[in-house]
Amino acid sequence: MIHMETKRLVLGDWEPGDLALFTNLHQDPQAMKYFPKLYNEKEVAEMINRYKDHQESRGWSIFSLRLKENKQFIGCIGLLYRDFPAHFTPCVEIGWKISPMYWNQGYATEAAKKLLHKGFTDYGLTEIISFTVPQNVASRRVMEKIGLIHDKEGDFQHTRLTKDHPLSWHVLYRLTKEQYDDHKLV
């Protein structure tokens, strides 16, 4: 069982009751504004199973995210090995998805700092990246708060979307272990 804690949060394994809550999150147009589509329950169940398989094979993955005080599920955060066709893959991506009612409270930043620390110190990663569409200012702000650096030369057209898709262009943020060691934010 994976279990990490921050001052206010618990990052952990997926529980049976998470499917309905995670599906609700993936059906929320506000939460999914910068994703190409909404996901149904079957697709979300498959997503959770991929995260569990990733955890089994790599020892880390996307975790459920809960408030420590009452164990309320608020979303997910984690690290994923990515190998889709792009100039920076294969790589390890840090990503999060949090219910809008919990936005602007520092939860993504708090959990992401914990994951960067685990990634670089316990998991032996040498670089962690993140990416999003340019207009996703809130996620970009989190990336910057946790120390990731915008690689302007690395911005890219996502290969899983058609070139004319309004969400196909992405900004790329990166952080190496050396950069992390120089400026630890945990």
Looking at domain 3-182, its CATH class is alpha beta
Phi, psi values for residue 54, rounded to 5°: -60, -45
User: What is d(CA 17, CA 1) in angstroms, rounded to the nearest whole number?
Assistant: 16
Task: pLDDT tens for the chain, 186 residues: list them.
Answer: 668 999 999 999 999 999 999 999 999 999 999 999 999 999 999 999 999 999 999 999 999 999 999 999 999 999 999 999 999 999 999 999 999 999 999 999 999 999 999 999 999 999 999 999 999 999 999 999 999 999 999 999 998 899 999 999 999 999 999 999 997 654
Instruction: Let me know how many helices (H) and strands (E) the chain has, helices first.
Output: 5, 9
Parse the chain into domains and list their residue ranges: 3-182
Tally of CB atoms within 10 A around 30: 9
> Closest Cα partner for 175 from 152, 153, 144?
144
Distance CA(11)–CA(163), nearest Å, equals 35
